[in-house]
Amino acid sequence: MGMPPRAPGGSPVRVLLVDDHEVVRVGLRALLAAAAGIEVVGDAATAADAVREAARLAPDVVVVDVRLPDGSGVEACREIRAARAAARVVMLTSYADEDALFASILAGASGYLLKQTRGADLVDAIRTVHAGGSLLDPAVTGQVLRRLRRPSGSAGDGQAGELSDLERRIVALMAEGKTNREIAEVVFLSDKTVKHYVSGILRKLRVARRSEAAAWWARLRPEAPPPGEAH
């Protein structure tokens, strides 16, 4: 059997690990240290540290936990990709979650793996995304694209047509009485980003209060499930 593929020019794939559990970071570092052609250049325990270390170390691939203590790994992914488009991001999560997958794809992640994944599969995943490949099932990606292309509102909905699918999801959660922090946990955004979205939603709906937006949602879709939920 030949040697595993290496980066162009023989340089190892530079990897940054992001997880709030030290034992996970240590385990992943040991796993990747044994893989030819891969070099762990650093690690981080928070979203803020992940963004800062990614800027400082310029890794080829960043492996990020979806949930981090100071925010969302998805937000970190978005910021890392915005600052350095060449970086590839693989999201790690403890359980399958459609909203997290949807948010990860929109944030520019190249892969989405469960933490129960075998070590060899993670190594292969890192090599795959570094080579420009994707770990996302085409059927899943197609589902996300359909959600993006789906009209936000039907004829007669008025301002509904101005809201994106994510904004409608947030309105639905507002109608459930959730706070910005609780909404942030569901849609994998930071509290600050959700606050920004809520302000935009109120402006688009031409209402002044969250309760008015919630009432609008109840009148518009009294029986329909919120965007993103199973039918």
What DSSP assignment string belongs to 5-38? P--GGGPPEEEEEE-S-HHHHHHHHHHHHTSTTE
- Is the pLDDT score of 91 beyond 80? yes
Which residues, 6 or more positions from 44, have their beta carbon under 8 angstroms from its beta carbon?
16, 17, 18, 50, 52, 53
pLDDT score, position 39: 96
Say whether pLDDT at 209 is over 80: yes
- How far is it, in rounded angstroms, from Cα 224 to Cα 79? 33
Residue 96 Cα distances to 157, 170, 217, angstroms: 33, 21, 28
* Domains of the chain, CATH where assigned: 8-143 (3.40.50.2300), 151-220 (1.10.10.10)
Whether 136 shows a pLDDT value over 80: the answer reads no
What pLDDT shows up at residue 7? 45
Lowest mean pLDDT among 59-63, 66-70, 162-166: 162-166
* Range in 7-16, 46-55, 128-137 the model is least confident about: 7-16
pLDDT for residue 176: 82
Distance (Å, whole) CA 149 – CA 155: 16
Residue 15: name the closest of 60, 78, 79 by CA.
60
Decide: 93 and 112 in contact? Cβ < 8 Å.
Answer: yes
Question: How many Å apart are CA 155 and CA 126, to the nearest integer?
Answer: 45
Cα separation, 189 vs 123, whole angstroms: 28
Cα angle at 152 between 180 and 67, to 5 degrees? 35
* Residue 218: its H or E element: helix 210-220
Q: Give the pLDDT confidence score for residue 142 in this predicted structure.
A: 62
For 141-194, how does the pLDDT look when each residue is reduced to its tens digit (9 = 90+)?
Answer: 666 656 555 544 433 344 555 788 888 889 888 888 888 888 888 888 888 888
In angstroms, the CA 204 to CA 160 distance is 9
